Amino acid sequence: MEVGLLGDAGVILKALVERVESLKTGERRPAEDFPALKARTEYFAEPAMTSTEVPLKPQRVMAELREALPEDALVFTDIGNTVTWVERCLLARRADMIMSLSGLAAMGSGVAAVIGGKLAAPDRPTLVVCGDGDFQMHGMEVMTAASHNIPVVWLILQNDTLAMVHDIQTMTYKGRYVASQFATPDFMKLADAFGVLGLRAERPGEVAGAIRSAFEANRPAIVSVPIDPNEMPPAKARMMAMDRSLGNPPVMESLSLGSLKALWSMLKER
């Protein structure tokens, strides 16, 4: 494969050298047993999942959610950082437990889809994990659930931001934020206005209890959980692509380090 790189040759080659040097050597690791591999990769065991800090770490929220979920629970995720936290920190109990609507990645889709999920599987406790931004893009579906007595749970991770957009702006725009922060309404008063159960969990141990109470109530419910707004998922290819779109040169991992260094040395001698 050939890729054309437009820009100053010195800048591009230097960036390529630095990038390749930072990559793994490609040497094969000796065979590991599963316990060792899980320990090395922090398999669903990140330190933040047991954090007692307040506001709660989203990783801790996911750990408590799993603790509270029945074996046959059905969990929808919304889009943004929310789906990342679920995929990274919520260990599924069965193969059909988690529904992630990542095809078109439409924010707010899970807020509505959770009702369809409950209607399709009426005997399964059903919940959606969504951000406060996701929820406010729709949210009126709660009234639909209340009107037809569809017992689904909206678990809202509240950080007063469109977190993925905010994180991208943090990384690529040096903290210059545009339309990624907002004032969040009182979701408990909103739940009361809808006529559904409203629960708020703020401290370690409260999330699991709130989720259990919501399921036991057998009625539509909103569970609001303030989370640490500064907690950011691991950097993704999307964010790195955004960074390159602002003028930083792309990288080509297929080039050998030796060839890049040779080109860089020749350029410096000119």
Same domain assignment for residues 217 and 244? no
Residues 179 and 72 in one domain: yes
Q: Does one domain contain both 135 and 158?
A: yes
Q: What is the C-alpha to C-alpha distance for residues 101 and 91, in angstroms, rounded to an integer?
A: 18
Same domain, 201 and 247: no
Residue 203 lies in a domain: yes
* 112 burial via Cβ count (<10 Å: 0-12, 13-18, 19+): buried
For the chain, the domain total comes to 2
Cα atoms in the Cβ-side hemisphere of radius 13 Å centred on 230: 4
Q: Determine the pLDDT at residue 244.
A: 56
Q: Does 2 map to a domain?
A: no
Q: Are residues 176 and 242 in the same domain?
A: no
Residue 22 lies in a domain: no
CATH at residue 99: 3.40.50.970
First to last CA, the chain: 28
Residues 200 and 260 reside in one and the same domain: no
Residues 120 and 209 in one domain: yes
pLDDT at 252: 45
pLDDT value of residue 218? 97
Is 222 strand, coil or helix?
strand
What is the predicted pLDDT for the residue at 134? 93
Range of the domain at 264: 9-17+236-269
β-bridge mates for residue 198, sequence order: 222
Helix (H, G, I), strand (E, B) or coil at 62: helix
Counting as low any pLDDT under 50, the low residues of the chain are: 251-255
The answer to whether 73 touches 114, Cβ cutoff 8 Å, is: no
Phi-psi region of 250 (alpha: psi -120 to 50; beta: other; left: phi over 0): beta
Residue 56: its pLDDT value, please? Answer: 98
pLDDT of residue 214: 98
Do 123 and 213 lie in a common domain?
Answer: yes
Q: Are residues 108 and 129 located together in one domain of the fold?
A: yes
Which pLDDT score, from 0 to 100, does residue 174 have? 78
- Cβ-Cβ contacts under 8 Å for 31 (sequence gap 6 or more): none
pLDDT in tens, 132-178: 999 999 899 999 999 999 999 999 999 999 988 888 888 778 778 99
Is 113 part of any domain?
yes
Does residue 243 fall inside a structural domain?
A: yes
User: How high is the pLDDT of residue 270?
Assistant: 55
CB 82 within 8 A of CB 157: yes
Radius of gyration of the chain (CA): 23
168 and 250 belong to one structural domain: no
Residues 149 and 189 in one domain: yes
Q: Are residues 116 and 61 in the same domain?
A: yes
